[in-house]
Structure 1
């Protein structure tokens, strides 16, 4: 979020927390993107604040967290002092989570893989309606193919992203026999190293697809610790992930700070990933 919207998001999070009976003397911005994560002190709660257009996503995330907590998944939990729901205030959707003090050491690839496999096992235990990966790609493709929704996307890059999204998505719909519920975006920024061990956050991206789609978000070495993973598919999914990331950055209403930088990074990463799997 840009500075003005960020200030309003902070005030909305503070006000909703106070109304829920939490004590707040200070607010620390932990992460700022199209949504923000705020540490509220001294109550030590993490508030996730999103524009009201993300209300459905926020409600879905709370539902996923509630169900996964019941099967001991390695995920961050909702704060037990606040009702497990999304609070709406001043055009923002706000949810309250347990704050986990980070542990300084880096998560080793084997531990990362273990956490992801345990997360996948937990996801297999819950019954949840979630979109398929290809449905998420279709949304990204609709933004790319509509100049009104992505007016600053150059024509050559529009064709490039459209062909990449369409071609790689088609490959994921050929055989869905091994598809299951996934985290959706288990990249290093969404895996906390805590005293409880590695815990996944940002559960609103939960979707259905092959486990390789999740592995494509993790560092390369993680896949080496997952027996049976299709490494060619991981590489293709990595290119697909970057193509979707790029599609979001070119949206007219994208709120990510410094998006001009990330637009260039995204397109370069798509080309690098396509070269790596021989599709450049």
Structure 2
């Protein structure tokens, strides 16, 4: 968010928690992108604040969290003191979560695979209407093919992303027997090492597809510890993931920090991933 919008988002998070009876003496910005994550001190709540245009996404994330809490999934939980719902204040959607202090260092590949195995097992125990991975690919392809929304994307790179997204999208449609609910983006930034063990966050990306789509977000060694995973499909899904990531970075309205770097790096990652697919 731009500084002026971030200030309003911080105040919306602070005011929402305070009105619910929580003490907020300070606010620490944990993450700032198109939505922000705020640590509220000393009540130790994590407030996720998004523009109200993202209200449906925030409500979906809260619903996913509620259902997964009932089946003991390894995910971050909503704060039990504030009601399991999204609060709207000053054109922002605010959800309040338990804050987990990070501990330790990097999560070992075998432990990463284990938490995804347990998470996928928990997801199979809930019933949820979630979009298919192919819907997300179609959204990214729409951005790439719309020059008004991605005006700075060079023609050669536009063609690369368009062909990658459309060509690899069929690899994620393995048939209903090979698909299930997924986290959607379980990359290292969305897996916290806490005193309770590794916990997944950012549940708004929940979707349906093959488990390899999730594994493609994890460190490469983790996929090798996941029993039954198709290693070739993981490679193709990784190329697809980088193509979607790159598509979002070239949007006119994208607000990811250091966007200029990631526009270039994302395309480099797409090319490297496609090269690996060709050599696999």
TM-score by length of 2: 0.97
**Maintained 8 Å contact 2:23/2:43:** yes
In the other structure, the counterpart of 1:11 is 11
- Please tell me whether residue 67 in structure 1 is matched to residue 70 in structure 2: no
**Maintained 8 Å contact 1:242/1:266:** yes
Cα distance between partner residues in 2 of 1:251 and 1:77: 32
Q: Bigger shift: 257-266 or 181-190?
A: 257-266
- Please tell me whether residue 277 in structure 1 is matched to residue 273 in structure 2: no
**Maintained 8 Å contact 1:2/1:257:** no
Cα distance between partner residues in 2 of 1:90 and 1:152: 32
Number of aligned positions between the proteins: 280
Unpaired runs of at least 5, structure 2: none
In the other structure, the counterpart of 1:30 is 30
- Please tell me whether residue 258 in structure 1 is matched to residue 258 in structure 2: yes
C-alpha spacing 1:141/1:114, structure 2 compared with 1 (3 Å): same
Cα distance between partner residues in 1 of 2:168 and 2:271: 13
In the other structure, the counterpart of 1:180 is 180
| Shift in Å, 1:104 | 2.1
- Please tell me whether residue 153 in structure 1 is matched to residue 188 in structure 2: no
In the other structure, the counterpart of 1:219 is 219
In the other structure, the counterpart of 2:166 is 166
| Shift in Å, 1:105 | 2.6
Cα distance between partner residues in 2 of 1:279 and 1:59: 42
Cα distance between partner residues in 2 of 1:99 and 1:77: 9
**Maintained 8 Å contact 1:51/1:92:** yes
CA RMSD of aligned residues (A): 1.3
Question: Helix, strand or coil for the counterpart of 1:105?
Answer: coil
**Maintained 8 Å contact 2:216/2:235:** yes
Unpaired runs of at least 5, structure 1: none
1:70-109 correspondence runs (5 A): 70-109=70-109
| Shift in Å, 1:279 | 7.5
Question: Helix, strand or coil for the counterpart of 1:223?
Answer: helix
In the other structure, the counterpart of 2:111 is 111
TM-score by length of 1: 0.97
